[in-house]
């Protein structure tokens, strides 16, 4: 009984780490631009594909690294490359899709619609370029399994959880302690007064997208290592859940996105685990129940758990 | 001058159309070229193209002493039920095909079969094993066995050869095929090993990739065998997660495992596992081997069961057309005549076994094969189970 509980907690932690990493990206962009970047889930998908090509093709076949390298070297090189390339995609989208609208002073609604379209372009662009066949992500970590308290956790899962906590800490530090973070908060506070103070608005926004997308890339890589079957629509549902997690946590608040991601995952796992004890609950109701609980949370606190009503976001 | 030009134009368009219109037989394919299981569509199309080339290369299909060229139309159903219905309508009403092959999986085949039957058009599904597909639909046929046969075969194999006294089941409750099969398996397994011997009967929904919460519960119940009638894109994740969580027993699958892509996605984890299916490529003999060799030479891959069943389903349609004796050109009449010819088909010698229809249902009587995934990752023949 106890070991099952621990096991389910690990399952939820690992899934929550992925949600949290993606939710952080939603939260950053929203915090700075008050824009819900609905393409973010698909940037995550692109991140997983980039990780695949970096790990299997660029480093292996076309020899950025000499052949016969140990797997941890490949992994160590894949992480920064994936993050860099994925953030390139995020910044590119900002440049071609969002910035022209922003410069024209378009209503935020149109930017959100553009974001939805960008997501679809990424999904179907991938489908038409790579075809519909699934890709199998190469194994980069040894199959090491730890058994704390009778539960089992693989090294991949453990590193996923640790990474998400590390990224959260890093992000918190960037936003609260660095100059760039201060600039981000300033933009969030008043986008129109900030350029008058000599802060380069565009640079701050590009940096935000860079940061958010690189985390989506990292999440994509971790996700692909845990669930090594890639398909063009993998970002849709995960992206949705992460978005909801960010909103429930209080969108714009970094702690909120992080907590929201884990809350989401724990609710999902709890529904499956509870189905043995509560007769009318079935595992397939996990999205129904978890989304309902989140709805209830939002009913009582519409700004989310950490959200403050209309003050400085981020 | 102008008149001559117009006349030439008319001739240019009308002549080939007339020439084709009279002497071609059009067959539609309702298959998933994109979506969750694109390999199924690709393999179906490859097998069909191969058959078309073979027949057209020999001058066409001989129906009552007249040669007809074959024309195949492929429509993508994206592996979605609603798209399969649209694809069926497009083929039957738009393309005016004589018969439709596919959709392959039951979730798509069941709604599409309704359309085919209402429009009085013969439909032959290669791969749909759910009983509902053909029930009460005289125009709908299939080239494979049924879940109420496959489920018990799996249960018998698990309790007999794998010596399992208890079982766990993990399946997608949102899809007709795994749901039906999981229930058939449970019924049969509990029939053999007593009520409650299926200790865990866990569900998830389509598109899920994290099965760890369910698997934790299954493994906690300590089953002797894990039965998972899922598709080849989910099987690798299920198998890997089950192993990571410490499950050491055998994992048993169904015919949806039998895709050429299973091993590229699953790798070593799937070796040594068994599944129930329609034919085994490794160790095949006779006409089956000829088909496999020709397919392999043409497309550089071993055909999976979907490819083989599409070949048989299409072959059966062609044989039925020949049995009709003559094509009248009146589509509605020909479609009804084709149904008659199909329903009285006896002893069609397909590469997945001999097939006969009893005239009442569109379900053939044929044997199932148990395949073991061997150390080389090939699908090797283990044993054959006949009804």
What confidence tens digit (pLDDT) does each residue in B182-212 have? 999 999 999 999 999 999 999 998 888 999 9
CA distance A44 to B196: 43
- B245 and A134 in contact by Cβ < 8 A? no
CA distance B91 to B280: 32
The nearest CA of chain A is from the CA of B325 a distance in Å of 41
Least confidently predicted of A277-281, A308-312, B285-289: A308-312
User: Per-residue pLDDT averaged across A251-273, rounded?
Assistant: 92
Q: pLDDT band at B19, cuts 50/70/90?
A: very low
In chain B, the N- to C-terminal Cα span, in Å, equals 73
Diameter over CA atoms, chain A: 62
Indicate whether B117 pLDDT > 50. yes
pLDDT at B311: 93
- A231 and B34 in contact by Cβ < 8 A? no
Q: Give the residue among B368, B371, B369, B370 at the shortest CA–CA distance from B379.
A: B371
Three-state DSSP at B71 gives strand
pLDDT tens-digit series, residues A37-90:
999 999 999 999 999 999 887 666 666 666 667 788 888 889 999 999 999 999
Give the whole-number percent of chain B exceeding pLDDT 70: 94
Task: Give CA separation, A74 vs A50, A58, A82, A139, A250, in Å.
Answer: 14, 10, 12, 11, 37
**What are residue B125's DSSP bridge partners?**
B142
CA distance B323 to A23: 63
CA distance B184 to B158: 14
Q: Which residues in B lie closer than 8 A to residue A278 (C-beta atoms)?
A: none
Q: Give the residue among B20, B27, B24, B22 at the shortest CA–CA distance from B316.
A: B27
Chain B residues within 8 A (CB-CB) of chain A?
33-36, 38-39, 41-42, 173-174, 202-205, 207, 209-210, 212-214, 216-217, 220, 233, 236-237, 240, 244-246, 261, 264-265, 267
CB A21 within 8 A of CB A222: yes
Q: CB-CB: which of A4, A237, A283 is closest to B214?
A: A283
Chain A residues within 8 A (CB-CB) of chain B?
4, 7-8, 11-12, 14-15, 127, 131-134, 136, 139, 143, 145, 152, 154, 157, 227-229, 231, 234, 237, 268-269, 272-273, 276, 282-284, 286-287
Q: How many C-alpha atoms does A23 have within 13 Å on its Cβ side? A: 33
CA distance B111 to B118: 11
Look at strands A135-136 and A229-230 and give their pairing.
antiparallel
Contacts of B18 (CB under 8 A, 6+ apart): none
CB A295 within 8 A of CB A263: no
CA distance B309 to B109: 14
Least confidently predicted of A87-91, A134-138, B168-172: A134-138
Indicate whether B345 pLDDT > 90. no
pLDDT at B16: 45
Indicate whether B14 pLDDT > 60. no
pLDDT at A275: 83
Q: pLDDT band at B348, cuts 50/70/90?
A: confident
Three-state DSSP at B28 gives strand
pLDDT tens-digit series, residues B290-336:
899 999 999 998 888 899 999 999 999 999 999 888 888 888 999 99
User: Per-residue pLDDT averaged across B149-166, rounded?
Assistant: 92
Indicate whether A171 pLDDT > 90. yes
Size of interface A-B (CB pairs under 8 A): 81
Indicate whether B17 pLDDT > 50. no
Three-state DSSP at B387 gives coil
The nearest CA of chain B is from the CA of A16 a distance in Å of 11
- A229 and B203 in contact by Cβ < 8 A? no
Indicate whether B21 pLDDT > 70. no
Least confidently predicted of B6-20, B146-160, B163-177, B233-247: B6-20
Tell me phi and psi for residue A32, to 5 degrees: -85, -45
Query: What is the model's pTM?
Result: 0.85
- A284 and B203 in contact by Cβ < 8 A? yes
B377: its two tokens = 């990752």
- A136 and B236 in contact by Cβ < 8 A? yes
The nearest CA of chain A is from the CA of B83 a distance in Å of 16
Q: pLDDT band at A113, cuts 50/70/90?
A: very high
- B213 and A273 in contact by Cβ < 8 A? yes
DSSP A309: T
Three-state DSSP at B74 gives strand
The string of DSSP letters for A212-253 reads HHHHHHHHHHHHHHHS-EE-TTHHHHHHHHHHHHHHHHHTT-
Least confidently predicted of A14-18, B5-9, B60-64, B135-139: B5-9
- B261 and A134 in contact by Cβ < 8 A? yes
pLDDT at B288: 87
Q: Give the residue among A28, A302, A36 at the shortest CA–CA distance from A185.
A: A28
The nearest CA of chain B is from the CA of A226 a distance in Å of 9
Q: pLDDT band at A243, cuts 50/70/90?
A: very high
- A133 and B38 in contact by Cβ < 8 A? yes
Indicate whether B169 pLDDT > 70. yes
User: Per-residue pLDDT averaged across A284-313, rounded?
Assistant: 82
Q: CB-CB: which of B34, B209, B217 is closest to A227?
A: B209
């Amino acid at each position: 009984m106890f070991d099952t509980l621990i096991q389910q907690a690990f399952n939820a932690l690992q899934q929550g780490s992925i949600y949290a990493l993606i939710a952080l990206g939603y939260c950053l962009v929203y915090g700075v631009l008050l824009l819900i970047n609905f393409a973010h889930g698909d940037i995550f998908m692109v991140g997983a594909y980039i990780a695949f090509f970096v790990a299997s093709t660029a480093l292996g076949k076309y020899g950025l690294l000499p052949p016969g390298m140990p797997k941890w070297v490949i992994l160590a090189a894949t992480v920064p490359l994936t993050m860099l390339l994925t953030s390139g995609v995020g910044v590119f989208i900002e440049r071609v899709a969002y910035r022209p609208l922003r410069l024209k002073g378009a209503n935020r609604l149109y930017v959100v619609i553009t974001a939805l379209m960008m997501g679809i372009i990424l999904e179907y662009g991938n489908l038409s370029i790579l075809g519909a066949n699934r890709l199998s992500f190469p194994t980069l970590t040894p199959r090491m399994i730890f058994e704390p308290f009778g539960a089992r956790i693989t090294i991949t899962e453990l590193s996923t959880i640790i990474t998400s906590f590390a990224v959260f800490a890093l992000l918190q530090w960037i936003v609260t302690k660095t100059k760039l973070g201060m600039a981000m908060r300033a933009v969030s506070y008043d986008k129109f007064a900030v350029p008058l103070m000599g802060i380069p608005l565009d640079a701050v926004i590009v940096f935000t997208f860079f940061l958010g997308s690189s985390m989506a890339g990292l999440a994509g890589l971790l996700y692909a290592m845990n669930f090594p079957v890639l398909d063009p629509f993998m970002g849709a549902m995960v992206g949705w859940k992460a978005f909801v997690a960010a909103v429930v946590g209080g969108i714009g608040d970094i702690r909120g996105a992080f907590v929201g991601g884990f809350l989401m995952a724990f609710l999902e796992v709890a529904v499956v685990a509870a189905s043995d004890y509560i007769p009318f609950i079935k595992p397939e109701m996990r999205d129904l129940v978890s989304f309902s609980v989140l709805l209830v949370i939002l009913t009582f606190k519409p700004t989310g758990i950490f959200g403050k009503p209309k003050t400085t976001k981020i | 001058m102008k008149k001559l030009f117009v006349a030439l134009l008319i001739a240019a368009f009308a002549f080939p159309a007339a020439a084709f219109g009279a002497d071609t037989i059009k067959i539609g394919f309702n298959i998933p070229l994109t979506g969750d299981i694109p390999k199924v569509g690709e393999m179906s199309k490859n097998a069909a193209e191969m058959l078309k080339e073979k027949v057209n290369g020999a001058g066409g299909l001989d129906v009552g002493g007249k040669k007809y060229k074959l024309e195949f139309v492929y429509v993508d159903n994206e592996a979605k039920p609603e798209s399969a219905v649209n694809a069926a309508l497009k083929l039957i009403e738009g393309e005016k095909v004589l018969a439709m092959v596919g959709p392959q999986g039951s979730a798509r085949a069941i709604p599409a079969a309704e359309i085919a039957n209402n429009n009085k058009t013969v439909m032959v599904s290669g791969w749909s094993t759910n009983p509902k597909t053909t029930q009460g639909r005289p125009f709908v046929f299939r080239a494979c066995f049924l879940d109420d046969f496959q489920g018990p075969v799996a249960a018998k194999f698990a309790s007999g050869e794998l010596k399992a006294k208890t079982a766990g089941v993990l399946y997608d409750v949102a899809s007709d095929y795994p749901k039906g099969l999981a229930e058939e398996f449970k019924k049969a397994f509990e029939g053999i090993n007593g009520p409650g011997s299926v200790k865990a009967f866990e569900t998830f929904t389509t598109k899920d990739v994290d099965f760890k919460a369910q698997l934790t519960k299954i493994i906690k119940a300590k089953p002797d065998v894990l039965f998972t009638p899922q598709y080849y894109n989910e099987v690798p994740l299920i198998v890997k997660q089950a192993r990571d969580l410490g499950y050491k027993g055998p994992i048993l699958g169904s015919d949806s495992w039998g895709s050429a892509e299973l091993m590229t996605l699953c790798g070593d984890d799937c070796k040594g596992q068994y599944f129930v299916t329609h034919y085994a490529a490794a160790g095949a003999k006779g006409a089956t081997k000829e088909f496999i060799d020709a397919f392999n030479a043409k497309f550089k891959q071993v055909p999976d069961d979907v490819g083989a069943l599409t070949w048989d389903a299409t072959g059966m349609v062609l044989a039925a057309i020949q049995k009709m004796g003559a094509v009248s050109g009146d589509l509605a009449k020909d479609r009804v005549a084709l149904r008659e010819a199909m329903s009285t088909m006896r002893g069609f010698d397909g590469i997945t076994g001999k097939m006969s229809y009893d005239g009442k249902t569109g379900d053939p009587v044929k044997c199932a094969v148990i395949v073991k995934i061997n150390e080389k990752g090939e699908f090797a023949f283990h044993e054959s189970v006949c009804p």
